[in-house]
């Protein structure tokens, strides 16, 4: 027999979902059979499985320890050797400054470190992971775009962050260094799609399968050859900022896919810049009413890396 007191990490989900996550090798048929036979109880009573768990609820599994261990695999958290750059953390969320060049999540290269695994290992080392809930990053950045990535440390916070990004209740700001003089704020709207080479295309006319996108930008420095922009995403599609700025004639410095090859070569040779100078530098929640309401209007910020700041200083001096 095993019992659990539900904490806020696991509250807000159905009882059957919680059990299936804990007994992660058990077939659904077994879990629902145990519910019918009253071998799984909630607060000492028979449960259907559809009940929504609240903090303080007691869940008891009237099962042999051998049965539980046979149906359960521990959460797989891989050892990481890179310490995350944490810019904000409380009991609900964690925000890290992702280095440009590091993927947010693991891909085909299973040996490469990614920020999601680094944060999971960090939380494991702190003893901040539960036996059931495995957090994941709430937003993504291109591998070569640096800056803020957030993670909910418990289920309620993770759900709130996901909803905030989905429903445009998160004010996300980027800084971008671009070619050319940008003297006025502007809006770039269009239709986002990809060509046969997986390159993003943004057009004024709607194409089949295309999605609407909108990007706002404001110059924070305007020089003779280069400008530094504050960029706000209204929608969030892959490579949206990079191609949006390119189509108005101001490609991002260092961008190997949408940028100016000659300018990229200059900044690579003189500053070692091998990626687009685009950073997610601030994040602010809006219109929150639940677990993250206390974070409304709190701005979380980070700085670009030292190489990028050298490029920005060079631009400002020109």
| Residues identified as active-site | 142
Report the alpha-carbon distance of residue 127 to residue 166 in Å, rounded: 30
Instruction: Say if residues 202 and 192 touch (Cβ distance below 8 Å).
Output: yes
Cβ(50)–Cβ(15) under 8 Å? yes
Question: Smallest Cα–Cα separation from 94: which of 139, 64, 142, 143?
Answer: 139
- From residue 287, alpha-carbon distances to 73, 84, 188, 233 in Å are 39, 29, 25, 17
Give the residue from 284, 273, 257, 275 showing the smallest Cα distance to 148. Answer: 284
Strand ranges in 6-50 using DSSP code E only, listed in sequence order = 40-42, 45-46
């Amino acid at each position: 027999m095993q019992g659990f007191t539900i904490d806020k990490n696991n509250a807000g989900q159905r009882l059957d979902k919680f059990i299936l996550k804990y007994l992660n090798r058990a077939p659904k048929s077994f879990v629902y059979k145990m519910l019918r036979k009253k071998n799984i109880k909630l607060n000492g009573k028979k449960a259907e499985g559809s009940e929504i768990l609240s903090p303080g609820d007691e869940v008891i599994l009237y099962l042999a320890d051998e049965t539980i261990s046979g149906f359960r695999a521990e959460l797989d958290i891989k050892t990481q050797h890179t310490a995350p750059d944490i810019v904000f953390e409380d009991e609900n969320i964690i925000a890290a400054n992702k280095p440009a060049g590091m993927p947010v999540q693991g891909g085909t290269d299973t040996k490469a470190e990614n920020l999601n695994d680094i944060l999971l290992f960090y939380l494991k080392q702190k003893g901040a992971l539960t036996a059931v809930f495995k957090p994941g990053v709430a937003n993504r950045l291109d591998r070569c775009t640096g800056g803020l990535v957030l993670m909910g440390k418990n289920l309620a916070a993770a759900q709130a962050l996901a909803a905030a990004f989905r429903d445009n209740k998160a004010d996300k700001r980027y800084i971008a260094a671009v070619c050319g003089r940008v003297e006025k704020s502007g809006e770039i709207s269009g239709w986002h799609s990809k060509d046969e080479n997986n390159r993003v295309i943004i057009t004024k006319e709607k194409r089949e399968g295309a999605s609407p996108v909108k990007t706002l930008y404001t110059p924070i420095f305007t020089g003779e050859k280069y400008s530094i922009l504050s960029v706000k995403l209204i929608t969030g599609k892959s490579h949206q900022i990079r191609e949006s700025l390119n189509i108005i004639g101001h490609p991002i410095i260092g961008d190997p896919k949408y940028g100016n090859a000659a300018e990229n070569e200059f900044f690579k040779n003189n500053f070692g810049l091998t990626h687009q100078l685009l950073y997610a530098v601030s994040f602010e929640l809006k219109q929150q009413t639940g677990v993250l309401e206390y974070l409304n209007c709190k701005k979380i910020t980070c700085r670009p890396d030292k190489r990028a700041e050298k490029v920005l200083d060079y631009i400002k001096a020109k």
